[in-house]
Amino acid sequence: MAKPTVYVVYYSTYGHVKTLANKIMEGLNKSGTVNAKLFQFQETLSDEILGKMHAPKKDEAVPVITLADLTDADAFLFGFPTRYGNAPAQVKAFWDSTGQLWASGALQGKMAGVFFSTASQGGGQETTALTFLPNLVHHGMIYVPLGYTHANLFALDEVVGGSAYGSGTVAAGDGSRQPSEKELTIAEHHGERFAKIVAQYHQ
């Protein structure tokens, strides 16, 4: 029996979410139960604007997700930074273009989870996931939460991103804080756990 296919699709302005995505990929591959592939959302800002934002260049080795790609996978993990407790415009623009897929029911029954980055602990670690859920619900997709399935989610000795909704990182207002070891461990666990659930569903 063929392994189910999982696409990890991220948008990352300064690299924090990309780092989480890479760690999630490690977890997916470690599980041995799925085939995993990494994608990124299309950038909508101009090079001029990105330059003024001091944003690093996108990784050209990572393909940009297309609508056709969505129909090829069995499950997805979507990652993005918060914008006032919501997904950023780049992610919204992509989902706003999925009307034809919605009309045909192409994504119904596919599984999905989320991961995220915020500036602070209270800056959207849960609301960013919550406000993204309508996109999945309207397409009839099956949301798979992380749950409190890793000890690091209970840590109080340091700042730790992530929640029951998915893995995450706290980047600080100026983006100076990189994902910590505890956050990266949660992200790897997220990928591994998601893979096992998807594989169980597709038995």
Domains of the chain: residue spans and CATH: 5-201 (3.40.50.360)
Confidence of residue 184 (pLDDT cuts 50, 70, 90): very high
Per the listing, tokens 């699709």 go with: 9
Confidence of residue 130 (pLDDT cuts 50, 70, 90): very high
Give alpha helix (H) positions in the chain: 16-31, 47-52, 67-70, 89-96, 99-104, 127-138, 181-201
Looking at the chain, the whole-number percentage of residues with pLDDT higher than 90 is 91
Contacts of 84 (CB under 8 A, 6+ apart): 124
According to DSSP, residue 162 is labeled -
Kindly report whether the global pTM for this prediction surpasses the value 0.85. Answer: yes
Dist. CA 79–CA 59, nearest whole Å: 15
Provide the mean pLDDT of the chain: 96
Cα 192–Cα 74–Cα 167 angle in degrees, nearest 5? 35
Confidence of residue 122 (pLDDT cuts 50, 70, 90): confident
> Taking 90 as the threshold, does the pLDDT of residue 173 lie above it?
no
Looking at the chain, the whole-number percentage of residues with pLDDT higher than 70 is 100
